[in-house]
Structure 1
Amino acid sequence: MKTILIVDDEPRTRQGIRKTLESWSCGRYRIETASSGVEALSWLQHNDANLLVTDIRMPEVGGLELVEKLNAMAHPPVVIVISGHPEFDYAQKALQLGVISYLLKPLDKLKLVQAVELAMKREEELNRIERMEKLFDPKLLETLQEDKTYGVQVQEALRFVDAHLSEQVSLRAVADQLHMNASYFSVLFKEQTGLTFSEYLSRRRVQRAKELLVNTRYSIAEIAEQVGYQTAKYFVKVFRSIEAVSPGQYRQSNLNPEETIQ
């Protein structure tokens, strides 16, 4: 269950926000409160929050200081800031810190709920992006980002490989497709991409396999076939050599918790 943490040193405001969000969420979210930035930081040392709703002006640790500290976390919550004063400098700093919404007191309940809905959508989008980033092979991504600097022949080779990943692709077959000498093509490919053709092909196949492992329920053998390996055993060997884990272990460690039953 996702958690919303409300931080405000004014008891009436804190409880009013809590009641409003509990009524809106109908049990979909866990709603927690803290009476100060210090209490919030202490709570967050042992708990995770998906959304932080915090007042700006509080003793000891103010709302923006709290947000700055949280931004150093590996997985900081998305943030909504509330304030009793329409101060431009506060609003500007909040935006610089990536705050989703800046709401003024007295809080309009409808605007609060709308801001929370927007923030939770943003939090889910950030989680999705983070999950996708985990899929990417850094070496392969670096190679693909240089696509515009490649010669026409190498660009065509990359497109050919992508279109035929499930088939038995070889350096010679690609060279023949490009009407090039295989040895010359091998040297040209390495010079421009920084990877041998064989290494690129393996990494591209494993990249595609990672996407299938996370986004589908195909078996390991089915995925091996879809990315061009004749046997699951050899596929597992190649996968492990690049990712340092087996395909099954990779799938298990990258499942979206919201899509599984614990």
Structure 2
Amino acid sequence: MNSIPLGVLVVDDETRQRRGLAAMVRDLRPEYEVWEAKNGKDALTISLSKPIQIVFTDIQMPIMNGLEYLQQLRTSGQHETKVILVTVYQEFSYAQQAVRYGANDYLVKPVQSQQLIEVIQHMEKIIVEEQEALIGNQTALNQIEQSMPAFVEHLFSKCVTDKLQPNEKILLKSHFGWRGVGEVLALGASAAHPEDIHMWDSQLRNTVVEILRPWASSVVFPLESRKDHVVAVVNWKDRAESKEAKSALQAGLKKLEQQQAISIWFAWGQSFDFDEMQINQSHEKAVGLISMRFYTPHIRCLNLVVSDDERPVQEMSAHEQRAFFKFIESAISNGEPDQLLGQVKNFIGQMTQGYPAPEALKAKLVHLLLVSLQRLNIGWSEEVYSRFSERLNKAVEGATYLRNLEDGVATWLKELILELHSGSKGEPIMNKCKEFLDAHLHEDLSLEIVARSFHYNASYFSILFKNYFGLSFTEYMVKLRMQKAQHLLLHTDAKVAEISRQVGYKDIKYFFKVFKKNVMHTPEEFRRKFK
């Protein structure tokens, strides 16, 4: 084993013995730094002020003997220092006692070179092993420290969903030591391009913590069970100032919205006592309120517009249900989508009075529409009926807002009518539509614009379009624009920016992004590789 540079202290009241042993150590280990002391008191002073790893000490000395020195050294916390007793045969009983006090080894006077080197090598081995273990422990501690925020978030996530175990609750309370009043804040965000929203998640969380810092301690984290919002657990320093803090938060989030072109919404749950750790009830209230964005997508703070009292879906009388079923059956059978959609919209409006829970509203609506479908008695196979049932469930469950719900039901009903009246002539219109898209590819086209050009309702036109082309309008436009862009890159010398405009992309950065995603090359790479 290669020796490592260590600090050594030789303690003996006999000068010749002390200097002789120190010289032997220096000869065997020139890289060692060696100190000397003539009694235990001086040795203790040096041990506590110098980087000493190994001590060779006599037992019988004036002022403070070797055993007293050893005891005080250990009492002072120097447990890693290796102490080797240097004794004579007559003092062997003392050596045994010293081992109980924490001595690591002993040598018998007169010390021989071979004995000394064996002891030094043994101590070096022990010291190296301890240092390696210390490094390993420190690495583990660093890993624990790095993972602590994630672990705390994990505990809070379990806490707000009422899944925290008693021992975890104790751990969480001891880690933070929060007392007094708290509240849960639920926040959500959306961006023009949904795939980019994760970029603002961290900034949103940090912004909430920093804005609330003067008034509260807070932890903001995503839920493990839900991805549609993040949660802040807030511990107020002074509950009387919480109103001021909430106003500051609303202003700060509005500023963040303007800076980053995102939409943020949030809701506060009821206050709770941290001693009781009733975080989950506060979270449930906040989530219940935030779900009301279904009705008011333009509102930032849901507490301001929605009652705390959850209301049930407005029930229809038996007479109203019969009239509704009869109307829907008549409209579907006769192929009257516009009349039908207006009635369904009015019907949904009646059901949403008082802002019932969105999920309850959706479940009720699906039930009534499927009952209507069954009552049609149109002789569909189980497969076709199941397909339309699944489409309805998907359209309704996926509706983020009331407007989406109305549009989703409208689309489903039009698909239903299209299936029942499959003799409708969509092919001539779609041929003209293709010619129109080819001629106006450079324009900012949308499904609504194209549908109006052919005097069609956008939702119904979307059904015809998807049935004919096999792609949604957006998917087809991307495909068409990419084909045109590739043609221009290969057969013209036009600049990429000009080509971007010719195929309908005003934002060249977005054109680059879409092109790379669909063609697997940037426009320049594509031109260089294939032209």
TM-score normalized with structure 2 length: 0.27
SS at match of 2:55: strand
CA distance in 2, matches of 1:44, 1:170: 46
CA deviation after TM superposition for structure 1 residue 74, in Å:
3.3
How far 1:122 moved relative to its partner? 2.7
Q: Structure 2 vs 1, CA of residues 170 and 39 (structure 1 numbering), >3 Å: closer, same or farther?
A: closer
Q: Hey, what does 1:22 align to over in structure 2? A: 26
Q: Quickly say closer, same or farther: Cα 1:170–1:47, change in 2 above 3 A.
A: closer
Residues 71 and 51 (structure 1), Cα distance of their counterparts in 2 relative to 1, 3 Å cut: same
| Distance of aligned partners of 1:21 and 1:184 in 2 relative to their CA distance in 1, 3 Å threshold | same
1:192–1:4 distance in 2 versus 1, CA, 3 Å: same
Identity %: 24
Does residue 195 of the first structure (1) align with residue 171 of the second (2)?
Answer: yes
Per-residue deviation, 1:46: 3.7
**Residue pair 1:80, 1:119 contacting (<8 A) in 2 also:** no
What does residue range 242-253 of structure 1 map to in structure 2 within 5 Å?
none
Structure 1 CA distance, aligned partners of 2:58 and 2:161? Answer: 66
Q: Secondary structure at the match of 1:71?
A: helix
* 2:187 maps to 1:183: no
Rounded Cα–Cα distance in structure 2 between residues aligned with 1:196 and 1:3 = 44
Give the C-alpha shift of residue 70 in structure 1. 0.9
1:35 aligns with 2:38: yes
Aligned with 2:171: secondary structure? coil
Question: Judging changes above 3 Å, is the alpha-carbon distance between structure 1 residues 183 and 106 closer, same or farther for their aligned structure 2 residues?
Answer: same
SS in 2 for 1:113: helix
Residue of structure 2 in register with 1:215 after alignment: none
Calculate the aligned-residue CA RMSD, in Å: 4.1
Give 1:21 shift.
0.9
Of 73, 86, 89 in structure 2, the residue corresponding to residue 85 of structure 1 is 89
Deviation at 1:184, TM superposition (A): 4.7
2:155 touches 2:172 (CA, 8 Å); kept in 1? no
User: Which residues of structure 2 form unaligned runs of 5+?
Assistant: 177-200, 210-216, 218-531
Find the aligned partners of 2:156 and 2:56 in 1 and give their Cα distance: 60
Cα distance, 1:108–1:195 mapped onto 2, change above 3 Å: same
Q: Which residue of 2 aligns with 1:2?
A: 6
Q: Which residue of 2 aligns with 1:247?
A: none
Contact 1:94 1:102 survives alignment (8 Å): no
SS in 2 for 1:99: coil
Q: 1:132 to 1:72 in 2, by over 3 A?
A: farther
- Structure 2 counterparts to residues 1-262 of structure 1, below 5 A: 2-27=6-31, 29-44=32-47, 46-76=49-79, 77-127=81-131, 183-186=161-164, 188=165, 191-193=166-168, 194-196=170-172
* 1:11 CA drift (Å): 2.1
Shift of 1:53: 0.6
Greater relative contact order structure (CA < 8 Å, 6+ sep):
1
* Contact 2:7–2:34 (Cα < 8 Å) also in 1: yes
Amino acid at match of 2:161: S
Distance 1:230 1:52, change over 3 A: farther
1:61: Cα distance to partner? 1.2
Structure 1 SS opposite 2:89:
coil
Give me the whole-angstrom Cα distance separating, in 2, the residues matched to 1:184 and 1:69: 52
1:30-83 Cα shifts (integer Å, max 9, x gaps): 011112223323434543321111011112211111111111223352201010
Asked if the contact 1:37–1:66 (Cα under 8 Å) also holds between the matched residues in 2, the reply is yes
Q: CA deviation at 1:88?
A: 4.6
Q: Give me the whole-angstrom Cα distance separating, in 2, the residues matched to 1:14 and 1:105.
A: 12
Instruction: Give the whole-Å Cα distance in 2 for the aligned partners of 1:184 and 1:112.
Output: 64
| Separation of aligned partners in 2, 1:66 and 1:24 | 26
1:196-252 residue CA offsets vs partner (Å, 9 max, x unmatched): 49x79xxxxxxxxxxxxxxxxxxxxxxxxxxxx978x96xx9xxx9xxxxxxxxxxx
What's the secondary structure of 1:82's corresponding residue? Answer: strand
CA contact (8 A) 2:85 2:107 kept: yes
Q: Deviations over 1:149-200 (max 9, x none)?
A: xxxxxxxxxxxxx9xx999x85799x8xxxxxx83522x2xx0333349x79
